[in-house]
Structures are given as C-alpha cells and as structure tokens.
Structure 1
Amino acid sequence: MSLSDAIFFAALVTIVCAIGIAEKIIDVDMDQFLPENLKKAKIKRIFVERNTPLQGTNVQKEIKKAFESVLLPLGKADKNLLQKRMDMTFRRKMDHQINLLRKRKLCRDIRLTDVMPLPKNNFKRWNDDGREWRESILQCSSLERLVSPKSGKVVHQIYRKGSYLRILQSRHIRHSDRQGKNQEFYSDKLMITCPSCGAEVELSGQQIICPYCGGVIQSEFYDWQTEVFEIYKEMGANMRYTLLLFAGSIIMFICLTFSLWLINDIDISLTIGVVLTLLVFIGILSFISRDRAKQEKMREGIVRYSENYLRSCISEVLYKEKKEDLLDYGVDAIVLKKVVNTEQTTEITVQVFGKETYLPEKKKPYTKKVKKTMVLQRARYPERRKTDGAFFIEKDCPSCGANFIPDENNCCSFCGYSLQIDNAKWRIK
C-alpha cells in the first residue's frame, strides 16, 4: 500500500474508533447552553448586592466563615479584617498582598455565584505530622477584579465559569491527646456550657465572652489557623477525556499508518497497528505507575511526612524577601527526587512547581510559572527532645504569632505548637 493510501485508511479507521469511544466516555451536558447558564446571566447574578461574599448561599456556617475571613480583607484591602489566627507564613503573604494593593490604591474583589460546596457541604478532614487538617472546596462561577475603591474603576478582571475556591486550615494536636485512637480531635469542644449562667455557648476560640451573662470563658480548645487560600480553574472530566482520546487517536493513527504502509496484508497490518497502540498505552501507564510508586516509597521514608507542612516551609523559604511587584504566589506540585536519612537528620531533594502573580504600577497583572530544585533538611525524629530548653514567661508563637504564657508542656496555649524544640521545620541547606 502506498504511503498516501495508508495515511487515508489509517485516518478513517482512527476517526471511526474515536467516535465509537467518545460516545461511551464523553457526556455532553446540554444544560450549559440554557439561557440562565450563559455568561451574561451569570454576570448579572454575580453583581446582586450582598453584605458578605457568601450571603444567601447554602454553604454551612463554618465553611462560610473560613472563606470570608480571606475574601473580606482582600475585597476591602484592610488588614484589620484579617483573622487573628493564621499560619505565620500565610499571614505574611496576606499582609504583603494587602500592602501592595493599598500602594496601588486597589482592592481585590472576588464575587461568586452558583456556589456548590464539595464534598457534601462539609470539610474534608485528616491528621498528620502532629496536626489536624481540614479542607473545603467551593465550585462556582467567579469574577475576580482589581478595582479602585474610590472611583470604582476596574483595572483588571478575570471571569471563570467553572471556578474553584479552596481553603486549607490546621491546628496543632497536643502530644497527650494524640495517644488515643480519636480521629476528630477537639470536635466535642465546639459547644460548651457557660459555668456562670448555664447557657449553651458556641466556642470559637481560646477565650470567649458569654452573650447572655457577659462572663469570660477560658478554654484549652485549639482553634483553626488558615494555611492556604487559592482560586483556580480546573479542567472538567469531559475535557480530560477529550484530550486523552485525542492523544490516543494520534498514537493509533501513527501506528496504523506505518503498519499499513509496511505490511501488504490489511488484516495483519490492522491487527499489528492495534496491538502496537495498546503496547504504547501500557508502556505510558506503567511509567506513570512506577513514578507514583517511587514517590510513595520516598514519602514512607520520611518520619511524620506532611506535604502541606512541607509546602508551607518551602513557601516561607522562597518568599522570605518578596519582590516589590509580587502580588500573589503559591507552591503547587512538589516532586521528591531524593531522600537521605542519617541517625539524626532527614535530607530531601525536591523539585518545586509554582506560580507568581505580579502587579506592576500602572500595568496589568501577569502570572508566570516557577520551577526550582531545592535541598532541605530537618531532624529525622522531630518529636524527640534533646534538652528541656529555657522556660519563657512570655513568647511570640512562631506558628500563630500569639503572645502567651506556655502551658505545662511548654506549648503555645493558643494553637498547641511545641516550643521545646523547633526541629520539625524543613530548612534549606
């Protein structure tokens, strides 16, 4: 068979196969073409007046409070609206962002509509590295704008029809509380009885005032600190399947073309072409599977490994001295390249992928991708104590920033962070 005939026949077979597979795996949602789901209708709903960004949504109270603790300060470029309890790295990031916005005389207004909390209008919870974590993701349509608060002039805006908002929070778990099998630490401390008047009061922090009798209530409850906030657009399942099908079709087309061109018997050439396509796919999947297994094995070699905490440490190292025009930044993927354990320390080599958004003066913001290779280390067993250390009467907590008197275990009485030794943090080598 000539090359042109082989190309034509291979293309025909590939198109027929692709259409057959597409009918099985791709589900076209016709609702997106309804009038209420078009951009114009969504923009109209986005600009409905609300006192708070999530007012009128079906988002549960705790999730709404977590997101609005970030959305409100950005929307007004006001640091006074920031929560008292934040991870120190995240607080420095928010402070820097609000300072830059105020310098440019702008605010970052994020408006939402058609909000759908995932999964099941609740936090996803887990615990690792001595912390309890919770994460919430909102699926929505969003309009992110940089606006002058005085004139109302919009400098820049991004509309995302399929948008996701993600917030990640954590709190330290006291060592004594970690000894049991409890998986939801302090979950029973959300409601307490006022010792003065007997009223049931919602506990939202270390110290609250009873709204009924005015009594001050102290508690050892460790409230949540925000670690990550991000807004992004994620590829839908149909788009992922379409790209995968497109890549598979290209591979199939190439294999069939060469088989039909080199082998005269059509039945044999088609069989060989299909077999080659399957072998290529199996090879790609085995490579991905082997790489994932390798990553998992390296993670298992790190005592009390937490990718979220490692991300926070890397972010602190990378952005200790921030560039003047840097508005927002984040560490996305972390790929472990090497793990070396000694008796005392763990040393890791990681490849870090992230993105940075810049806001130059009198120019539109722009985003660029970042890729770095870093070597970090920490104590191999972070909980082991070498010495008792000095006992401080007052101290600023390196985790939450609170000024406090350490408890009997020499831990922060607000967030539970251990002050005995600070060897759990990953430091650049």
Structure 2
Amino acid sequence: MGLSEAMLLAFATTIICAFAIAEKIIDIDFEQFMPENLKKAKMKRMLAKRETPMQGARLQKDIKDSFENVLLPLGKADMSYLPKRMDLTFRRKMVHQVELLGKHKLCRDIRVTDVVPLPKNNFKRWNDDGREWRESILQCSSLERLISPQDDEIVHQIYRKNSYLRILQSRHIRHSDRQGRNKEFYSDKGKITCPSCGAEVELSSQQVICPYCGGVIQSEFYDWQTEVFEIYEKMGANMQYGLLLLAYSGVMFLCLTLCLYLIKDADVSLTVGVIVTLLILLGIARFFRTREEKQEKLSEKIVRYSENYLRSCINEALYKEVSDEALMDYGVGSIVLEKVVHTDQTTEITVKVYGTETYLPERGKPYTKKIKKTLVLQRARYPERRKTDGVFFKEKDCPSCGANFIPDEHNCCSFCGYSFRANNAKWVMKAMKTS
C-alpha cells in the first residue's frame, strides 16, 4: 500500500475511533450557550451593586466570611479590613499587597457570579503535622479589576469564565488533645466564664449564649487562621478530555500509517497498529504513575510530612523580604520531591518548586510570570523530640499568629493554641537554584 493510501485509511480509521470515544466521554452542555450564560450577561451580574463581595452567593456563613476577610481589604486597599487571624507569612504578603495598591492609588476588586462551592457547600477537613486544616474551593465566573477609586477608572481587568477561588485555613492542635482519631478538634472543648453572671459555659463555637443569663459570649480561642488564598482559571473537563483525545488520535494516526505502509495485509496492519497504539498509551500512563509512586515513597520517608506546612515554609523562605517593590502577588504551586537524605539528627530534602509571581510596575499593566526553582531544605529528623521545654515570655510574639504570647495552662498560645517549643519542625532553606 502506498504512503498516501495508508495515510488516508489511517485518518479515516482514527476519525471513526475518535468519534466513538468522544461520544462516551465528552458531555456537551448546551446551557452554556443560553443568553444568561454568555459573557455579557455574566459581566452584568458581576458589576451589579452589592454590599459585600459574596452577597447573594448562597454560601455557608463560615465559607462566606473566610473569603470576604481576604477580598474586602484588597477591594478597599485598606489594612484596617485585614482579619486578626492570619498566618504570619500570609499576613506579610497581604500587607505588602495592600501597601503596593495604596502606593499606586488602586484597588483590587474581585467579583464573582454563578458560584458553585466544592465540595457540597462545605469545607474539606483533615489534620496532619499537629494541625487541623480546612479548605474551600469555589467554582465560578470571576472578574478581577484594578480600579482607581478616585475616578473609577479601570486600569486593568481579567475575566475568567471557568474560575476557581481557593482558601486554605489551619489551626494548631495541642499535643494533649491529639489523642484518638478525632477528625475535628475543639468543636466541643473549652469552657469560658460568662462575664455577665460568672457562670461556667461550655464553649462549643466562636459565639455562644449563656444558658443562665442569656448573654452573648464571643471568643476567638483556637480560631482558624488563613494560610493561602488564590484565584485561578482551570480548563474545563470537556476541554481536558478533548486534548487527551487529540493526543490519542495523533498517536493512533502515526501508528496506523506506519503499519499500513509497512505491512501488506490491511487487516493485520490495522490490528497491529491498534495494539501498538494501546501499548504506547499504556507506557505513557505507566511513566506518570511511576512518578507518582516515587513522590509517595519519598514523602513516606519523612517523619510527619505535611506538604501544606512545607509550602508555607518555602513561601516564607522565598518571600520573607520582598526585594522587588513591584511584586504584588506570589504563590507556590506544585512541589516535587527529588531527594531525601537522613542523618541521625536531620532530614535534608531537595525539591523542585513551581509558582507564579504577579508584578504591578510603576508604569504599565500588571503581568504574571511563572517561576521554577530547585531548593535544598533541612529540618530535624524527628521534629517532636526536644531536649527542653524552653522558657515562656509573655512579651514574646507567637510564631504562628503573631499575637502577644500569653500561655494557657498547657503552655499554648491563648489565641491560636500553638504549642510553643523549639521550632525544629520548620524547614530551613540551605541552597537555591533558579531554573
């Protein structure tokens, strides 16, 4: 069979197979073409007047408050709106961003519509490394604008049809409370004295009503602190399936063309071509699975490994002091473990870090660039072990929340529950290589 005939037959076979697969995996939602789901209608809904950024989003109050605590100070470019409870690294980032916006006399206004909270309008919760974590992701359409509040001039705007807003929060778990298999901590613990009648009241939430006198009692003890906020656009499922199908079709077309051209029997060549295609795809899948298994094995070598805490340490190491004044926003994305080396006292890891940096120059529009760095970090091999309990000073700042460190009866921070001890669990950067 000639090359042109082989290519024609291979193309026809590939198209038939691709359509058969597409019918099974791609679900076309025709509602997206309705007038109310077009960009013009979405923009109109997002630009409608509202009192708060999440007004009308039908979110659980905790989720709504968590996002608005970040969106309000950015939208107003006012540090007085910053919440009390934030991770120190995240607070440093927010303060720098608000100051930069104020310097340029701009506000970062983020508006959303058609919000779908994942999963099921609730937080995803887990605990590791002595912390309880919760995460919420909002699937929506968003409009991010840099506005001059003086004349409402729009300096820059980004419309994201398939947008995601993500917030990650944590709170420390006291060592004495880590017993058992609790998935949630401090939801039913703690007692407080009613300032009105003096009765002892069980503190089951951040706000309780005294059953004796009816007084409303609020407490931020062991409250959540924000670790990460990010907004990004993600490719839709149909687009992902479409690209995978396109790659599969390309591999199949090449295999069938070569087999039809080299093997005289058409039936045999088609069979061999399909088998070779499947083997190549299985090989590619196995390659990616091997990489995942390598990451799992390396993480298992590290005592009490927490990727979220590692990300926080990397953020602090890279951006503790911002050298470029134009740097407005930054974040660490994927972390790939390359090597883990143990000694008797320490654990040293080599990681590849992928992230983004957004700059707001004095003149010109903001821009975002991707970064890739190779870092060598070190910490104690067994972070829970310590030689002494240390000495507590009331005038010392809590290394977690930044509040004045006032220890409770368990020598933990009265505001966030941080167990103050030798911080040998922290990853310290030893070397960095920019790729």
Q: Given the two structures, how large is their TM-score scaled by the length of structure 1?
A: 0.94
Alpha-carbon distance in structure 1 between the residues aligned to 2:146 and 2:131: 35
Closer/same/farther in 2, CA of residues 255 and 181 from structure 1, 3 Å limit = same
Q: Could you tell me which residue of structure 2 aligns to residue 177 of structure 1?
A: 177
Closer/same/farther in 2, CA of residues 271 and 218 from structure 1, 3 Å limit = closer
Question: For residue 146 of structure 1, what is the amino acid of its counterpart?
Answer: L
Q: Secondary structure at the match of 1:7?
A: helix
Cα distance, 1:220 vs structure 2: 8.5
Q: Is the 8 A contact 1:191 1:203 kept in 2?
A: no
Structure 2, unmatched stretches of 5+, are: 431-435
Deviates more, 1:169-178 or 1:356-365: 356-365
Q: Could you tell me which residue of structure 2 aligns to residue 258 of structure 1?
A: 258
Alpha-carbon distance in structure 1 between the residues aligned to 2:307 and 2:217: 36
Alpha-carbon distance in structure 2 between the residues aligned to 1:391 and 1:153: 52
Cα distance, 1:213 vs structure 2: 7.7
Deviates more, 1:111-120 or 1:247-256: 111-120
Alpha-carbon distance in structure 1 between the residues aligned to 2:31 and 2:216: 53
Cα distance, 1:386 vs structure 2: 1.1
Q: Is the 8 A contact 2:190 2:202 kept in 1?
A: no
Closer/same/farther in 2, CA of residues 410 and 258 from structure 1, 3 Å limit = same
Deviates more, 1:121-130 or 1:336-345: 336-345
Alpha-carbon distance in structure 2 between the residues aligned to 1:4 and 1:93: 60
Matches within 5 A, 1:375-394: 375-394=376-395
Matches within 5 A, 1:149-160: 149-160=149-160
Cα distance, 1:234 vs structure 2: 0.9
Alpha-carbon distance in structure 1 between the residues aligned to 2:218 and 2:117: 33
Matches within 5 A, 1:64-143: 64-143=64-143
Q: Is the 8 A contact 1:194 1:200 kept in 2?
A: no
Closer/same/farther in 2, CA of residues 168 and 296 from structure 1, 3 Å limit = same
Matched, 1:20 2:36: no
Question: For residue 22 of structure 2, what is the amino acid of its counterpart?
Answer: A
Q: Could you tell me which residue of structure 2 aligns to residue 162 of structure 1?
A: 162
Q: Is the 8 A contact 1:397 1:403 kept in 2?
A: yes
Q: Could you tell me which residue of structure 1 aligns to residue 433 of structure 2?
A: none
Alpha-carbon distance in structure 2 between the residues aligned to 1:246 and 1:331: 31
Q: Could you tell me which residue of structure 2 aligns to residue 36 of structure 1?
A: 36
% identity of equivalent residues: 72
Cα distance, 1:110 vs structure 2: 0.3
Cα distance, 1:274 vs structure 2: 0.4
Alpha-carbon distance in structure 2 between the residues aligned to 1:190 and 1:57: 33
Alpha-carbon distance in structure 1 between the residues aligned to 2:122 and 2:229: 17
Q: Given the two structures, how large is their TM-score scaled by the length of structure 2?
A: 0.93
Question: For residue 204 of structure 1, what is the amino acid of its counterpart?
Answer: Q
Closer/same/farther in 2, CA of residues 41 and 217 from structure 1, 3 Å limit = closer
Alpha-carbon distance in structure 2 between the residues aligned to 1:145 and 1:160: 11
Q: Could you tell me which residue of structure 1 aligns to residue 58 of structure 2?
A: 58
Q: Is the 8 A contact 1:410 1:420 kept in 2?
A: no
Alpha-carbon distance in structure 1 between the residues aligned to 2:216 and 2:15: 72
Q: Deviations over 1:140-180 (max 9, x none)?
A: 11100000011100000001111111000000000000022
Question: For residue 402 of structure 2, what is the amino acid of its counterpart?
Answer: G
Q: Is the 8 A contact 1:119 1:137 kept in 2?
A: yes
- Number of residues paired by the alignment? 426
Matched, 1:411 2:408: no
Q: Deviations over 1:179-208 (max 9, x none)?
A: 222221012259989473579988438xx9
Alpha-carbon distance in structure 2 between the residues aligned to 1:377 and 1:13: 55
Cα distance, 1:47 vs structure 2: 1.4
Q: Could you tell me which residue of structure 2 aligns to residue 327 of structure 1?
A: 328
Question: For residue 347 of structure 1, what is the amino acid of its counterpart?
Answer: E
Deviates more, 1:243-252 or 1:212-221: 212-221
CA RMSD after TM alignment: 2.3
Matched, 1:241 2:217: no
Deviates more, 1:81-90 or 1:383-392: 383-392
Deviates more, 1:195-204 or 1:69-78: 195-204
Question: For residue 287 of structure 1, what is the amino acid of its counterpart?
Answer: F
Alpha-carbon distance in structure 2 between the residues aligned to 1:242 and 1:192: 57
Q: Secondary structure at the match of 2:290?
A: helix
